[in-house]
């Protein structure tokens, strides 16, 4: 069946029979019913209802994937066509090349920032990169619009602000001689009369979650989208599932992650290897301490040793899981830099006995209670991993270690928390350098099995993806899977 999917501005026009046949995409909504009871509902994003219909142009590729997966054929028609971006001026920082690739290759997307302090820095970087572009920044309140325009003006950028109370004024008093600012920081009310959406190149929401507000939806609904639309998503905040789904519906699944000092998120993959050997004197259904299930589990530690030793072998005789071997071949890595992450000093000591030539990164305070021979082996606070290096890293010291050159990380910690520092997931110098995390599906104990499932969800929340998928494809799959178990209202 041929399905024609039309994008008209920021809306999707899909035949109702196609939505019924291939399935609707929904936003998850938690509603209180009686007292403290809550119900989980789904708000249709594609099926037209009498209620408020959210903007859904970002779901174009998502619905096309649903059609293709069920044997249909999607015909995509986009109107109006998106105008090309002006030429970019690159600086030395890798932020510019990575950001230009996102903005130039996509008509909409998300800019994921690790803290709210990065909002001004990202806008400043985009303005510097496209000095001849017309950019409109949509902001929720007047104060933030004035502050951002003032900040950009102090940095030498032609920026003005416009609000409903303080509209943009013509400086020279003659409209025919008026040159609009390169960047207009405007609230939705101020953008009604002052923003020229027909000639602008980029529209950026300073806070992407503002798109759930009705006046933002109305402002973007009533204009023809020839510009590129992006939103800044602050990952430091926990938001309601409905808000997160509305952001995906408007901006799509293409994204870039920006960390401290403008570092760019690495391409992070995750592989779970099966493991089911039960430790001695521990029943599969017995609630056990972590040192029995993980740290002093001899068979599990020997599995980690064999994997680490094989990764350090450069010849063809190494025995690696096929998924790991394919990842190494895909990225043309012969002898990777490998780190083993452990949570407790006792676990580091256990693994150091099996890997005597592996240095250990820890602090004196962390190992002062362990035996003297082990303390003498510790490489105290080595500042960075170089190309081809290897080592055992204590989790509490990992934040102080530069891991930009680590290719493969074996997460030996177990339990229910992923303790990988966020700084390891960003690279200030080589953002295209990938990172593979190897974890274990621990089926030897019912509690360990549950902890493994929780870790899987944590990896998805940190934007890890499977090696056979891209980050955008994984984010799209997570969006579809997250709707399972929610009742359609």
Above 60 in pLDDT, residue 167? yes
- Please indicate, yes or no, if residue 375 is contained in any of the structural domains: yes
In 10 A of CB 66, how many CB atoms?
23
In 10 A of CB 312, how many CB atoms?
17
- Please indicate, yes or no, if residue 85 is contained in any of the structural domains: no
> Mean pLDDT throughout 423-451?
85
Nearest to 246, CA basis, from 275, 287, 277, 205? 205
Residues 412 and 283 in one domain: yes
| CA 247, chain centre distance (Å) | 13
pLDDT tens figures, 53-65: 789 999 999 999 8
Above 80 in pLDDT, residue 163? yes
Report how far residue 434's alpha carbon sits from residue 232's, in angstroms, rounded to the nearest whole number: 24
Above 50 in pLDDT, residue 74? yes
pLDDT tens figures, 263-273: 999 999 999 99
Residues 53 and 67 in one domain: yes
- Please indicate, yes or no, if residue 167 is contained in any of the structural domains: yes
Residues sharing a CB contact under 8 Å with residue 305, sequence separation 6 or more, in sequence order = 351, 354, 355
- Please indicate, yes or no, if residue 471 is contained in any of the structural domains: yes
Above 50 in pLDDT, residue 450? yes
Residues 138 and 241 in one domain: yes
Q: CA 48 → CA 25, 45, 203, 352, 411, distances in Å? A: 12, 8, 26, 61, 46
The structural domain count of the chain equals 3
Residues 241 and 347 in one domain: no
The token pair that represents 91 in the structure block? 């600086």
pLDDT at position 79, please? 85
Report how far residue 108's alpha carbon sits from residue 16's, in angstroms, rounded to the nearest whole number: 25
Burial tier of 238 (Cβ tally within 10 Å: 0-12, 13-18, 19+): exposed
Strand order in the sheet with 360-362: 268-275, 435-442, 408-411, 338-342, 390-394, 360-362, 378-380
Ramachandran bin of 460, using left for φ above 0, alpha for ψ from -120 to 50, beta for the remaining angles: alpha
Report how far residue 133's alpha carbon sits from residue 128's, in angstroms, rounded to the nearest whole number: 10
Above 60 in pLDDT, residue 357? yes
pLDDT at position 313, please? 82
pLDDT band at 365 (very low <50, low <70, confident <90, very high): low
- Please indicate, yes or no, if residue 89 is contained in any of the structural domains: no
Q: Torsion angle of alpha carbons 283, 287, 290, 291, nearest 10°? A: -50
CATH number at residue 255: 3.40.50.300
**Residue range of the domain that includes 408:** 266-480
Neighbouring-strand partners of residue 13: 6
pLDDT band at 5 (very low <50, low <70, confident <90, very high): very high
> Mean pLDDT throughout 380-403?
76
pLDDT tens figures, 125-154: 999 999 999 999 999 999 999 999 999 999
* DSSP H/E element including 41: strand 38-44
Could you give the 3-state DSSP secondary structure of residue 125?
helix
Residues 260 and 187 in one domain: yes
Residues 22 and 70 in one domain: yes
- Please indicate, yes or no, if residue 315 is contained in any of the structural domains: yes
Half-sphere exposure of 373 (CA within 13 A, CB side): 5
Among candidate residues 79, 113, 128, the one where a domain is terminated: 79
The token pair that represents 101 in the structure block? 């690739």
Among candidate residues 264, 296, 312, the one where a domain is terminated: 264
The token pair that represents 399 in the structure block? 């934040």
pLDDT tens figures, 10-49: 989 899 899 989 988 888 887 766 666 677 788 888 876 6
Residues 286 and 433 in one domain: yes
> Mean pLDDT throughout 420-445?
85
pLDDT at position 136, please? 94
Spatial contact of 445 and 282, defined as CB atoms under 8 Å apart: yes
Residues 311 and 406 in one domain: yes
pLDDT tens figures, 225-242: 789 999 999 998 889 899
DSSP letters along 233-288, please? EETTS---HHHHHHHHHHH-S-EEEE-GGG-EE--EEEEEEEE-PPPTT--TTS--
pLDDT at position 318, please? 72
Share of the chain above pLDDT 90, in %: 44
pLDDT at position 174, please? 47
pLDDT at position 380, please? 46
The model's pTM: 0.90
- Please indicate, yes or no, if residue 377 is contained in any of the structural domains: yes
pLDDT band at 381 (very low <50, low <70, confident <90, very high): very low
- Please indicate, yes or no, if residue 489 is contained in any of the structural domains: no
pLDDT band at 172 (very low <50, low <70, confident <90, very high): very low
Return the higher-pLDDT residue of 125 and 385.
125
* DSSP H/E element including 421: none
The token pair that represents 366 in the structure block? 């962390």
pLDDT at position 18, please? 92
pLDDT at position 88, please? 93
The token pair that represents 29 in the structure block? 């909504």
Residues 187 and 124 in one domain: yes
Among candidate residues 243, 264, 285, the one where a domain is terminated: 264
> Mean pLDDT throughout 148-173?
83
* Whole-angstrom Cα Rg for the chain: 26
pLDDT band at 261 (very low <50, low <70, confident <90, very high): confident
Residues 226 and 273 in one domain: no
Residues 361 and 372 in one domain: yes
Could you give the 3-state DSSP secondary structure of residue 113?
strand
CATH number at residue 402: 3.40.50
Residues 474 and 327 in one domain: yes
Spatial contact of 3 and 14, defined as CB atoms under 8 Å apart: yes
């Amino acid at each position: 069946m041929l399905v024609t999917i039309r994008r008209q501005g920021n809306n999707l026009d899909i035949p109702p029979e196609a939505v019924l046949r291939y399935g609707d995409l929904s936003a998850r909504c938690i509603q209180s019913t009686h007292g403290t009871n809550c119900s989980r509902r789904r708000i249709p994003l594609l099926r037209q209802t009498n209620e408020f219909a959210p903007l859904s142009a970002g779901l174009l590729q998502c619905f096309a994937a649903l059609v293709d997966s069920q044997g249909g054929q999607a015909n995509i028609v986009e109107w109006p066509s998106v105008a090309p971006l002006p030429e970019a001026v690159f600086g030395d920082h890798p932020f510019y090349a990575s950001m230009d690739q996102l903005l130039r290759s996509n008509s909409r997307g998300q800019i994921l920032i690790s803290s709210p302090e990065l909002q001004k820095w990202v806008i400043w970087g985009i303005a510097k990169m496209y000095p001849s572009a017309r950019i409109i920044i949509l902001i929720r309140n007047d104060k933030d619009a004035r502050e951002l325009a003032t900040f950009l003006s102090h940095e030498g950028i032609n920026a003005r602000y416009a609000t409903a109370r303080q509209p943009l004024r013509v400086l020279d008093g003659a409209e025919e001689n008026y040159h609009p600012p390169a960047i207009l920081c405007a609230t939705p009310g101020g953008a009604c009369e002052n923003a020229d959406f027909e000639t602008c190149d980029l529209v950026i929401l300073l806070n992407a979650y503002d798109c759930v507000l009705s006046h933002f939806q109305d402002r973007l609904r009533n204009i023809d989208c020839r510009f590129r639309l992006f939103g800044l998503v602050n990952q430091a905040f926990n938001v309601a599932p409905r808000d997160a789904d509305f952001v995906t519906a408007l901006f799509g699944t293409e994204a870039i992650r920006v960390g401290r000092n403008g570092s760019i998120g690495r391409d992070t993959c995750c592989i779970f290897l099966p493991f089911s050997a039960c430790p001695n004197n521990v029943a599969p259904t017995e609630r056990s301490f972590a040192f029995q299930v993980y740290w002093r589990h001899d068979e599990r530690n020997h599995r980690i040793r064999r994997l680490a030793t094989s990764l350090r072998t450069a010849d063809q005789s190494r025995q690696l899981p096929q998924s790991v071997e394919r990842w190494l071949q895909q990225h043309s890595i012969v002898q990777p830099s490998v780190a083993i992450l452990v949570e407790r000093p006792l676990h580091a000591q256990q693994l150091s006995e099996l890997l005597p030539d592996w240095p250990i990164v820890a602090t004196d305070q962390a190992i002062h209670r362990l035996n003297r021979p082990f303390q003498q082996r510790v490489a105290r606070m080595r500042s960075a991993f170089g190309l081809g290096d290897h080592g055992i890293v204590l989790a509490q010291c990992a934040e102080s270690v530069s891991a930009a050159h680590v290719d493969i990380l074996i997460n030996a910690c177990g339990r229910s928390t992923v303790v990988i520092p966020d700084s390891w997931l960003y690279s200030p110098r080589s953002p295209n350098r990938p990172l593979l995390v190897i974890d274990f599906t621990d089926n030897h104990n019912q509690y360990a099995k549950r902890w493994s499932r929780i870790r899987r969800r944590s990896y998805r929340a940190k934007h890890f993806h499977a090696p056979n998928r891209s980050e955008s494809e994984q984010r799209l799959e997570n969006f579809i899977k997250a709707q399972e178990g929610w009742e359609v209202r």
